[in-house]
Amino acid sequence: MEKLTLIEFKQSLQEKQPDSEFPVQLKSLWYDGKGDWAGAHAVVDQLNDKASAWVHAYLHRKEGDLWNADYWYSKAGKIRRQLSLEAEWEALVEQFL
The Cα–Cα gap between 88 and 12 comes to 19
pLDDT, position 1: 59
Please state the pTM of the whole predicted model.
Answer: 0.94
Residue type, 73: Y
Residue type, 94: E
pLDDT, position 24: 97
pLDDT tens digits for range 32-80: 999 999 999 999 999 999 999 999 999 999 999 999 999 999 999 999 9
Domain boundaries of the chain, sorted by first residue: 23-34+48-97
The Cα–Cα gap between 36 and 48 comes to 21
The Cα–Cα gap between 73 and 86 comes to 17
